[in-house]
């Protein structure tokens, strides 16, 4: 067989495996586009976990009690860990951590646009945990069945840890809603600002999504953007009502025939503006990450020097 | 000593999509041989689709006897568990 035939056969075997709901593992043959598509998606996911530490980290020193502070630190620590699981999963595809970080810094690789919004009040920490983590979970639960083994297994681990995140956020909102008028207003204001960006987290409508069709065929994605977004809305509306919050959407209405909430139009121009670098905090987020990376260089160098010294000592003994 | 066989730890992936799981160990002269031995010793009945062998001396392990000091700062954080946060009436999908 010539080379073209070989890769055609391999491609057929590959797709048959996917169609049969089998996982693809790192050493399997895979189409170059599948590999690139996965690296793009997993690294964006990893960057989102890491950049997402910034709006929350912003409130660690100002948390209203020692307990809330400890909880928030534990959550931010989890996000760093999730970033690590995901970078490691991406690296099984033959890309290095340095390349991934470099792509983040040059803007070649994106992260969730929602983290380009500022966290202005303590209630924002509640809204982020409740809405942003809920949206992430809806997406991640479906990704537990993604076709690439290491990504699927990372998702299982992450989902397990994530439920504490949304609950602590919801608990902050619930506590504020039981408080004074000012506190209730603060919670409502946070919901007003975070609601629409949360809906945008699921990405463009199915018809407009650049990578969706191929990703669904390869089962990298398992459910469509609109499908996931609807599930999120249905859950969140009920949760908002239960504690007396009002979802900031005049078109929001239960649709008996569909068995779902209908909701208003998303401002896609805003989404485009923020994802392409012009949201309220894009420059700050990237500058902060670059800065932390550069300022940490001496630590990485010192660790490498220590390693080299230990190795040379061990050689001398031998 | 060069002429003594090494100990290898064997990990088997029973099915695509699952983690490799430790199943036992064996002696071999090198890793290629360890892989063949592992196939013959641990997967005679189709127990797996992929095997990893790792030289035991390359594994760094924590000790259960050190648990108290090793995990010390992690044990007193009940807030890492979702169950700590109570939900209001009517909310169940969190």
**Pairing assessment for the beta strands B50-55 and B6-13 based on DSSP bridges:** antiparallel
Tokens of A210: 């650049």
Q: Which of A25, A164, A242 sits opposite B90 (nearest CB)?
A: A242
SS3 (DSSP) at A24: strand
Q: Are B47 and B12 in contact (CB under 8 A)?
A: yes
Q: What is the pLDDT along chain B (94 residues), one digit of tens a residue?
A: 456 899 999 999 999 899 999 999 999 999 999 999 999 999 999 899 999 999 999 999 988 888 888 887 777 888 999 888 988 888 877 8
Give the A-side interface with B, CB within 8 Å.
17, 22-25, 67, 70-71, 74, 78, 134, 149, 152-153, 163-164, 166-168, 170-171, 174, 235, 238-239, 242-243
Domains of chain B: residue spans and CATH: 1-58 (3.10.20.520)
Following DSSP, what letter does each residue of chain B receive, concatenated? -TTSPEEEEEEEE-STTSPPEEEEEEEESSHHHHHHHHHHHH-TTS--SEEEEEEGGG-----GGGHHHHSGGGTT-GGGSGGGS---TT----
* pLDDT for position A1: 53
The rounded Cα A246 to chain-centroid distance in angstroms is 25
How near does any CA of chain A get to the CA of B53, in Å?
16
> pTM here?
0.91
Q: How far apart are alpha carbons A173 and A188 in whole angstroms?
A: 9
**Local structure of residue A23 (DSSP, 8 states):** P
- Tell me the residue length of chain B: 94
* pLDDT for position B2: 54
- Positions of chain A with pLDDT under 70: 1-4
* pLDDT for position B70: 82
Which residues of chain B lie closer than 8 angstroms to A174, CB-CB?
Answer: 88
Distances, alpha carbon A274 to alpha carbons A210, A294, B70, in Å: 17, 25, 44
Cβ separation A239–B93 shorter than 8 A = yes
Q: How far apart are alpha carbons A315 and A17 in whole angstroms?
A: 48
**Closest residue, chain A, to B90 (C-alpha):** A242
Question: How many of the other CB atoms lie within 10 Å of CB of A61?
Answer: 8
* pLDDT for position A311: 92
Q: What is the helix (H) or strand (E) element at residue A255, kind and residue range?
A: strand A253-255
**Does B91 lie at the interface with A, CB-CB under 8 angstroms?**
yes
SS3 (DSSP) at A65: coil
């Amino acid at each position: 067989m010539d080379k073209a035939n070989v890769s055609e056969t391999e491609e057929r075997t590959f797709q048959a495996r996917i169609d049969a709901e089998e996982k693809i593992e790192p050493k399997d043959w895979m189409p170059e586009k599948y590999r690139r598509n996965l690296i793009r998606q997993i690294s964006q996911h990893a960057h989102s976990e890491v950049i997402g530490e910034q709006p929350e980290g912003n409130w660690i020193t100002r948390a209203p009690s020692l307990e809330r502070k400890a909880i928030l630190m534990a959550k931010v620590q989890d996000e760093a860990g999730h970033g690590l699981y995901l970078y490691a999963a991406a690296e099984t595809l033959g890309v290095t951590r340095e390349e991934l970080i470099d792509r983040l810094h040059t803007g070649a690789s994106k992260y969730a646009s929602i983290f380009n919004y500022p966290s202005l009040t303590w209630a924002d920490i509640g809204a982020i945990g409740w809405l942003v983590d809920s949206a992430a979970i809806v997406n991640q639960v479906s990704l537990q069945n993604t076709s690439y083994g290491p990504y699927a297994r990372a998702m299982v681990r992450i989902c397990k840890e994530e439920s504490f995140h949304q609950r602590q956020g919801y608990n902050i909102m619930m506590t504020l809603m039981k408080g004074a008028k000012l506190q209730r207003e603060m919670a409502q204001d946070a919901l007003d600002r975070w609601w629409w960006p949360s809906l945008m987290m699921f990405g463009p409508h199915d018809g407009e999504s650049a990578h969706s069709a191929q990703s669904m065929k390869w089962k990298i994605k398992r459910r469509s953007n609109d499908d996931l977004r609807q599930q999120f809305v249905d859950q969140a509306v009920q949760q908002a009502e239960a504690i007396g919050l009002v979802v900031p959407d005049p078109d929001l209405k239960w649709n008996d025939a569909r068995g779902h909430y209908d909701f208003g139009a998303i401002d896609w121009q805003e989404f485009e503006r923020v994802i392409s670098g012009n949201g309220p905090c894009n420059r700050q987020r990237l500058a902060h990450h670059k800065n932390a990376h550069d300022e940490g260089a001496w630590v990485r160098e010192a660790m490498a020097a220590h390693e080299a010294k230990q190795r040379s000592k061990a050689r001398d003994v031998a | 000593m060069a002429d003594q066989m090494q100990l290898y730890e064997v990990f088997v992936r029973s099915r695509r999509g699952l983690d490799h799981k430790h199943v036992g160990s064996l002696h071999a002269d090198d890793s290629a041989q360890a892989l063949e031995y592992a196939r013959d010793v641990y997967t005679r009945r189709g127990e797996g689709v992929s095997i990893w062998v790792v030289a035991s001396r390359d594994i760094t392990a924590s000790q259960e006897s050190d648990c108290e000091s090793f995990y010390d700062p992690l044990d007193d954080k009940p807030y890492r568990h979702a169950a700590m946060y109570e939900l209001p009436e009517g909310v169940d999908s969190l």
